[in-house]
Structure formats: structure tokens, C-alpha cells
Amino acid sequence: MAYTKRFDGRKADQMREVEAKVGVVPRADGSAMFKFGDTIAIAAVYGPRHLHPQFLQDPQQGIIRCSYDMISFSVTERKRPGPARRSQEISDVTARSLEPVLLLSQFPNTVIDVFINIVQADAGTRCAGINAASLALAHAGIPMTDLVGAISVGSLGGSVVVDLTKEEEDYEEDGEKAATDIPMAFTLRDKKISLLQLDGKVKPEDLKKAIEAGRKASEAIYEIQKEALRGLK
């Protein structure tokens, strides 16, 4: 059985309503909000600042440190506060997805801290977090070669669809999980992949389709991010 009609009626290549805004945390050096439908991420950037303890410093370049967390009330079943394996993993992949566009060699011995909080979660939070972080870094004036745009693409019952909701992530056929979640990020001008994760199984041809769908969606995200930086939204 193919998943042809989406639960919320969107077209296969249609993202949820997307919104982006910079300057949402006035005391940070840079900040942004990024929203995919009911998923809302806020990112705040501090730095570059001297890195302590000293042995962590790199005299060749600065480092980026991301800290992703979902607020307890962001999901219907209260999320236990504090660090967890999932948030550690997402923090790490977020930093790696952003690193390629940052000119870190200009800031030896320093750290750029990026705090990402998910205030409302309905799947795709790591992608919303990366989009918010990319915007917040640009808003902070950190020298960057490009922005990064992230989107989760799914393969559901034989169809490739962009920007999965939690309901879609949980899609089952014959009592078995039938959704594959493929979060990905692109450098927006160069169109290079800076994140590709896969939760589930996918045929090689569907993976290619998913990456193409993701690339297309990332172009729309780029336009929204640029608009937010221009202060239009």
C-alpha cells in the first residue's frame, strides 16, 4: 500500500508552514527562531570567546560547540530534563553540519557556543534547530561562507515526502513501522551535503529521490533565511 494522501493533506514536496526570525534573544550575540509547522526551535549564539579550560583550545582555529535540548513541555508526554544520549547526538551532528561554512581559522583558541532549545516538537526538531542555528550564527556576524539549510525527508510506504510530522514518522503498515526518516542538511549556495542521517530502511533509488527532494526544499529554506536576515520577516 502506498502512502499517497498525506495525513495533513500536503503535497509530497510541500513543507509545513515555515517561519524564521532573527534577534529573538536580545542578550545573545546572535539568535533566531525557526519553525516547521508545530516544531519550533530557538537558537542563541555566544562568542567567539576565549575557551576554557585551556587544554581544549586549538591554536589553529576556533571550535563550535552546540547544545541541543528539548524543553520539558515541548512534547505531550513530559520530556525528562537534563542531558541524554539523544540530545548529545543531536548536538554533535548539529555542530558538524555547521562547521563546513564557518571560517573558524579566524578565531584561534576560541569557542562559539550555540544553544538550541526546542520549545515545541512535532518531528524534524534537529533540522529546525540547524536552520535556527545557521541563522543565529549569521545574525551574530560570525564570518561564514554560506548558510546551512536542513530538512527531514521521509520514505513512507513507497512514497518520498518532505518535512515529516510525528504522525508520519510513526506511520505503520500491517502493524509494522513503515516510515524512514532521513534528516539532511545542505550548504545553501554550494548545495553540498553537510548532514545525512537515516532512521529506517530505504531503497537506493528512493534515497536518491529523497536527497533531490531535500535539496529542492533547502532552496526554499534559503530564501526564507535570507529574508529573515534582511529583517523582512
Rounded Cα–Cα distance for residues 94 and 64 (Å) = 10
**Residue 90 beta carbon to ligand UDP: minimum distance, rounded to whole angstroms:** 7
Residue 169 within binding range of ligand UDP, rule CB under 6 A: yes
Pick from 166, 209, 215, 226 the residue near ligand UDP by CB under 6 A.
166
Residue 75 within binding range of ligand UDP, rule CB under 6 A: yes
Judged by CB under 6 A, which stretch of 57-65, 94-102, 115-123, 217-225 contacts ligand UDP?
115-123
Of the two residues 166 and 215, which places its CB atom closer to ligand UDP in the complex?
Answer: 166
CA angle, residues 40, 117, 77, in degrees to nearest 5: 75
Rounded Cα–Cα distance for residues 70 and 52 (Å) = 26
Alpha helices in the chain (DSSP H): 85-98, 125-139, 166-169, 204-229
Pick from 97, 125, 155, 225 the residue near ligand UDP by CB under 6 A.
125
DSSP string, 141-207: T--BS--EEEEEEEEETTEEEES--HHHHT-EETTEE-EEEEEEEEETTT--EEEE--BS---HHHH
Residue 16 within binding range of ligand UDP, rule CB under 6 A: no
Residue 126 within binding range of ligand UDP, rule CB under 6 A: yes
Residue showing cell 554560506: 146
Residue 69 within binding range of ligand UDP, rule CB under 6 A: no
Rounded Cα–Cα distance for residues 33 and 19 (Å) = 8
Pick from 30, 124, 149, 154 the residue near ligand UDP by CB under 6 A.
124
**Residue 166 beta carbon to ligand UDP: minimum distance, rounded to whole angstroms:** 4
**Residue 196 beta carbon to ligand UDP: minimum distance, rounded to whole angstroms:** 13
Of 233, 31, 35, 9, the C-alpha closest to 124 is 35
Judged by CB under 6 A, which stretch of 4-12, 56-64, 117-125, 143-151 contacts ligand UDP?
117-125
At 8, give phi and psi (nearest 5°): -100, 15
Distances in whole angstroms, Cα of residue 30 to Cα of each of 55, 70, 132: 27, 20, 10
70 touches 81 (CB < 8 A): no
Judged by CB under 6 A, which stretch of 21-29, 47-55, 124-132, 206-214 contacts ligand UDP?
124-132
Binding mask 130-159 for ligand UDP (x = CB under 6 A): ----------------------x-------
Question: Where on the chain is the footprint of ligand UDP (CB under 6 A)?
Answer: 75, 79, 86, 121-126, 152, 166, 169, 181, 183
